[in-house]
Structure 1
Amino acid sequence: MAKRIQTIDLDCYYGDFKAVSDINIEIEPRSVTAFIGPSGCGKTTFLRTLNRMHEVTPGASARGKILLDDEDINAPGVDPVRVRSTVGMVFQRPNPFPTMSIRENVLAGYQLNGIRLSKSESENVLERSLTGANLWGEVKDRLDRPGGGLSGGQQQRLCIARTIAIEPDVILMDEPASALDPISTLAIEDLINELKEQYTVVIVTHNMQQAARVADRTAFFNLQAIGEPGKLIEYDDTTTIFNNPANQQTEDYISGRFG
């Protein structure tokens, strides 16, 4: 579990438009990495290439290498479904399956992949995943109630439980707390800090204070002009990015002079 991610000369396209250009980055296992930058600079596009979700959009493609340890997930013959089992994703808004119970939501990954579990295996996965998402104590007595009946913060933790149920190596999070209240946001941030003990965690966030609180390393993205591709401007330890950035663009963004 917890694999290293490396991208080499990665470009991301929507049709003929290059949205993200020439990304070279190395993300260490068992760490939290935050992507920050203004809207439209390619943070989420790049994040979605890391488990091949980007190509689900019609006309979208990526060129270059994405190495998960030593395996290029973009290589010919690599099954994107297997990639998405290894690199899970949690989206901006909580999206539990509305017609499914809490139990069914957590086990959905197995059902969708046609994997049959015995009752004891199911119960073990259920408790492990909900405990890992810091939700077991809150829902263990109502597992057969609809997942959509939980609060927003609980729904997001349910989605995290659904992601870790299939035992990925990497967890991607696209602004996981942007739709939540401050107390629920703190719970998600505490959970992210715990998840990095077992997983490689990568988050996109517009909340710079959140990046400073949870990330070991931070990558700043920007675009030179409207219509130009987004680029990775600076990538370093979070304390360096926020206290002593090497690039003037990073300093201007961190200080609020633009963005």
Structure 2
Amino acid sequence: MAKRIDAKNLNIYYSKFLAVSEVNFTIAPRSVTAFIGPSGCGKSTVLRTINRMHEVIAGARVEGDVLLDGENIYGSDIDPVDVRRTIGMVFQRPNPFPTMSIYDNVVAGLKLQSGRISKSDLDATVEKSLRGANLWEEVKDRLNKPGSGLSGGQQQRLCIARAIAVEPQVLLMDEPCSALDPISTLAIEDLIQSLKEKYTIVIVTHNMQQAARVSERTAFFNLAGVGKPGQLVEIDETTKIFSNPTDQRTEDYISGRFG
């Protein structure tokens, strides 16, 4: 089942440097939330804290809470590996494993998670995941070919198939279309709309038109000033953010006065 996400008094550090301060938000299950804002304001940093990817960077740490259906994923008894199984991630550039086939790319995470699985179960997972990523019809006759031989848009959908093969409840996407052509971008956006029926989705994007197209809610991040931490300025219904934001800084950004 898709999960609700709550961030409470979240402060994110790189060693002693406070990168993002006092972030609070709620993200509903089975919805799409977009993070927008200028470069360097902390959007991707906040995204990575939601599945504890931030802490793999040396010296990085988090203060505050990130709750998944009320359970703090930063609790002392929580295994970060389990968190990352529950909260999948798709990165900015497609990153299929270059030496693996399309088939093996899809089940790579599943094999690590579950150990020995029957061939019939693997076959079923591959087809289900590729169908879920709207890629099955394009690759079903070449599953043993390298994943790196696909087009950029197909590779990104393959990475999405790999992410959903382990059946997460949340899917994080860090600018998943920034390296893609317009046709591939449209395919990913259509896919996001179908995936939200099962998953809670959070997407970082520099493309405000994309945020308006795919999300129900939008969070605007900005820098507090030169040398100061990033901050969440406001989060609201996407239509309100783009038509009648509460904060003047949001209005200035979406109208092109800065950024």
TM-score class normalised by the smaller sequence: over 0.9
Are 1:96 and 2:96 counterparts?
yes
Percent of paired sites with the same residue: 69
Report how far residue 111 of structure 1 moved. Answer: 2.2
Aligned position for 1:106 = 106
Cα distance in 2 for partners of 1:176, 1:22 equals 26
Cα distance in 1 for partners of 2:86, 2:55 equals 17
Aligned position for 2:2 = 2
Report how far residue 113 of structure 1 moved. Answer: 2.7
Aligned position for 2:229 = 229
CA deviations 1:227-247 (Å, max 9, x no partner) are: 111100010000000000010
Listed as ranges, the matches of 1:6-155 within 5 Å are: 6-155=6-155
Identify the range of structure 1 (109-118 vs 4-13) with the bigger mean alpha-carbon deviation.
Answer: 109-118
Cα distance in 2 for partners of 1:164, 1:114 equals 14
Aligned position for 2:202 = 202
| SS of equivalent residue, structure 1 residue 107 | helix
Report how far residue 224 of structure 1 moved. Answer: 1.6
Cα distance in 2 for partners of 1:77, 1:146 equals 39
Q: Which amino acid aligns with 1:112?
A: L
Cα distance in 1 for partners of 2:98, 2:227 equals 38
Q: Which amino acid aligns with 2:121?
A: E
Cα distance in 2 for partners of 1:195, 1:177 equals 16
Q: Please tell me whether the aligned partners of residues 174 and 204 of structure 1 are also in contact (alpha carbons under 8 angstroms).
A: yes
Report how far residue 116 of structure 1 moved. Answer: 1.6
Report how far residue 70 of structure 1 moved. Answer: 1.4
CA deviations 1:19-45 (Å, max 9, x no partner) are: 010111000000000000000000000
Cα distance in 2 for partners of 1:69, 1:137 equals 35
Are 1:160 and 2:160 counterparts?
yes
Cα distance in 2 for partners of 1:2, 1:235 equals 20
CA deviations 1:60-108 (Å, max 9, x no partner) are: 0111010000110000021000000000000000000000000000000
Aligned position for 1:190 = 190
CA deviations 1:179-209 (Å, max 9, x no partner) are: 0000000000000001100000000000000
Cα distance in 1 for partners of 2:95, 2:11 equals 29
| SS of equivalent residue, structure 1 residue 145 | coil
Q: Please tell me whether the aligned partners of residues 4 and 200 of structure 1 are also in contact (alpha carbons under 8 angstroms).
A: yes
Cα distance in 2 for partners of 1:116, 1:226 equals 52
Q: Which amino acid aligns with 1:193?
A: Q
| SS of equivalent residue, structure 1 residue 113 | helix
Cα distance in 1 for partners of 2:244, 2:69 equals 30
Task: Normalising by structure 1, report the TM-score.
Answer: 0.99
CA deviations 1:210-235 (Å, max 9, x no partner) are: 00000000000001212111100010
Q: Which amino acid aligns with 2:57?
A: T
Cα distance in 2 for partners of 1:110, 1:128 equals 13
Q: Which amino acid aligns with 2:5?
A: I
Q: Which amino acid aligns with 1:173?
A: M
Runs of 4+ aligned structure 1 residues displaced above 4 Å come to: none
Report how far residue 117 of structure 1 moved. Answer: 1.1
Cα distance in 2 for partners of 1:101, 1:224 equals 46
Report how far residue 112 of structure 1 moved. Answer: 2.4
Report how far residue 17 of structure 1 moved. Answer: 0.3
Q: Please tell me whether the aligned partners of residues 110 and 116 of structure 1 are also in contact (alpha carbons under 8 angstroms).
A: no
Cα distance in 2 for partners of 1:122, 1:212 equals 37
User: Please, which runs of 5 or more residues in structure 1 have no aligned partner?
Assistant: none
Cα distance in 2 for partners of 1:121, 1:113 equals 14
| SS of equivalent residue, structure 1 residue 171 | strand
User: Please, which runs of 5 or more residues in structure 2 have no aligned partner?
Assistant: none
